[in-house]
Chains A and B, each alone.
Chain A
Amino acid sequence: MIVLLLFLLPLVGGLVSFLVKDGQAARSWALLVSLVTLVLSVAANAWVHAPSQLAFHAEWMGSLGSSFSLRLDGLSQVLTLLTAIAYPLIFLATWRTTYRKPNNFFGLMLLAQAGLMGVFIATDALLFYFFWELALIPVYFLCSGWGGERRIAVTFKFFVYTFAGSVLMLIGLLYLYFQTPDHSFSIASFYALHLPESVQSWLFWILFIAFAVKMPVFPFHTWQPDTYEQSPTATTMVLSGIMVKMGVFGVLRWVWPIFPTAVHVWGDVVMSMAVIGIIYSSVIAIRQDDIKRLVAYSSIAHMGLMVMAIFSENRIGLQGVMMQMFNHGINIIGMWIVVELIERQFGTRRLSELGGIAQKAPGLTILLVIVALANIALPLTNAFVGEFLMFNGIWNALSSYNMIFAAIAGISIILAAVYTLTMIQKVFYGPLNNVTAAAHDLSLVERLALGIIVLLIVIYGVYPQPLLNLANSFVEGLFRTINVANQIK
Chain B
Amino acid sequence: MMFSSFLTGNRATVRTLAHVLLLAVIVVNVAELRGLTIFHIDTRGMLVFDRFSLLFTLVANLSLLAFFMLSSKDMERVGVNYADYFALMFFVMSGVAIAASFGSLLMLFLGIEIISIPLYILTGSSKRNLKSNEAALKYFLMGSFSTGLMLMGIALVYGATGTFLTGATQIAPGAPPVILVAGMMMLLFSMSFKVSAAPFHFWTPDVYDGAPTVFTSFMATIVKAAGFIAFMRLFDSEFSQLQPQWKMLVAVIAAATLFVGNITAVFQQSVKRMLAYSSISQAGFMMLAVYALNSDAREGLILYAAAYSFATIGIFAVLAKMDDHTFDGFNGFAKREPVIAATLVIFILSLAGIPLTGGFLSKFYMLRATIGGGSLWLAIFAVLMAAVSVYYYFRLIQAMYFREGEGSIAVKPSAPFRYTLVGLAVITIILGIFPNLLTNWLYF
Contact = CB atoms under 8 A, between A and B. Distances in A.
B371 A134 contact: no
B355 A160 contact: no
Given A145-B402, A163-B390, A178-B371, A171 B383 contact: yes
Contacts of A63: 299, 436, 439
B380 A171 contact: yes
B436 A159 contact: no
A133 interface: yes
B118 interface: no
Nearest to B372: A178
Contacts of A137: 349, 354
Given A61-B436, A145-B401, A152-B398, A174 B367 contact: yes
A177 B296 CA distance: 14
A144 B376 CA distance: 35
Contacts of B379: 171, 174
Contact of B383 (A133, A144, A170): A170
B249 interface: no
A150 to B, nearest CB: 12
A175 interface: yes
B441 interface: no
A156 interface: yes
Contact of B386 (A133, A167, A174): A167
A188 interface: no
B387 interface: yes
A164 B371 contact: no
A167 B386 CA distance: 8
Interface in B368-401: 368, 371-372, 376, 379-380, 383-384, 386-387, 390-391, 394, 398, 401
Interface in A156-172: 156, 159-160, 163-164, 167-168, 170-171
B87 interface: no
Contact of A144 (B355, B384, B391, B398): B398
Contact of B356 (A61, A130, A177): A130
A474 interface: no
A144 B401 contact: yes
Contacts of A151: 402
Main secondary structure of the interface of A (DSSP, over half): helix
Contacts of A62: 436
Interface residues of B, number: 30
B269 to A, nearest CB: 17
Contacts of A126: 364
A124 to B, nearest CB: 13
B394 A159 contact: yes
Interface string B322-362: 00000000000000000000000000010001111000100
A156 B394 contact: yes
A168 B383 contact: yes
A64 interface: yes
B355 A134 contact: yes
B384 A167 contact: yes
Contact of A175 (B353, B371, B387): B371
The interface centre, meaning the residue of B379, B387, B401 with most chain A CB atoms within 10 A of its CB, is B387
Contacts of A178: 371-372
A250 to B, nearest CB: 16
A175 B378 CA distance: 13
Contact of B387 (A61, A134, A152, A163): A163
A129 interface: yes
Interface in A125-163: 126, 129-130, 133-134, 137, 141, 144-145, 151-152, 156, 159-160, 163
B371 A174 contact: yes
Contact of A174 (B368, B384, B434, B439): B368
Contacts of A160: 387, 390-391
A402 B355 CA distance: 41
A178 B369 CA distance: 11
Contacts of A177: 368
Contacts of A133: 354-356, 360
The interface centre, meaning the residue of A130, A137, A159, A167 with most chain B CB atoms within 10 A of its CB, is A167
A178 B368 CA distance: 9
B405 interface: no
Contacts of B439: 63
B368 A168 contact: no
Interface string B410-444: 00000000000000000000000011100100000
A126 B355 CA distance: 10
Contacts of A156: 391, 394, 398
Nearest to B349: A137
A137 B390 CA distance: 12
A129 B401 contact: no
Interface in B79-135: none
Contacts of A175: 371, 376
Contacts of B349: 137
A209 to B, nearest CB: 12
Contact of A170 (B356, B367, B434, B436): B367
Nearest to A65: B368
A129 B353 CA distance: 12
B368 A164 contact: no
Contacts of A152: 398, 402-403
Nearest to A132: B355
Interface in A174-205: 174-175, 177-178
A141 B348 CA distance: 14
A64 B364 CA distance: 10
B239 to A, nearest CB: 25
A192 to B, nearest CB: 20
The interface centre, meaning the residue of B371, B383, B435 with most chain A CB atoms within 10 A of its CB, is B383
Contacts of B368: 64, 174, 177
A178 B375 CA distance: 12
Contacts of B380: 168, 171
Contacts of A164: 384, 387
A147 B390 CA distance: 21
The interface centre, meaning the residue of B299, B355, B384, B391 with most chain A CB atoms within 10 A of its CB, is B355
A156 B391 CA distance: 8
A122 to B, nearest CB: 12
Contacts of B376: 171, 175
B358 to A, nearest CB: 13
A164 B299 CA distance: 26
Nearest to B433: A60
B46 to A, nearest CB: 32
Contacts of B355: 129-130, 133-134
Contacts of A129: 355
A4 to B, nearest CB: 16
A151 B402 CA distance: 10
A156 B379 CA distance: 24
A20 B368 CA distance: 41
Nearest to A141: B401
B304 to A, nearest CB: 15
Contacts of A64: 364, 368
A399 B318 CA distance: 60
A168 B382 CA distance: 10
Contacts of B403: 152
Nearest to A206: B380
A61 B300 CA distance: 14
A465 B61 CA distance: 64
Contacts of B391: 156, 160
10 contacts: A61-B436, A63-B436, A64-B364, A144-B402, A159-B390, A163-B390, A168-B384, A170-B367, A171-B371, A178-B372
Closest 9 pairs between A and B when the two form their complex, measured CB to CB: A167-B383, A164-B387, A130-B355, A133-B355, A144-B402, A163-B387, A174-B371, A152-B402, A171-B380
Given A141-B401, A152-B402, 5 more contacts: A64-B364, A133-B356, A144-B402, A145-B402, A171-B380
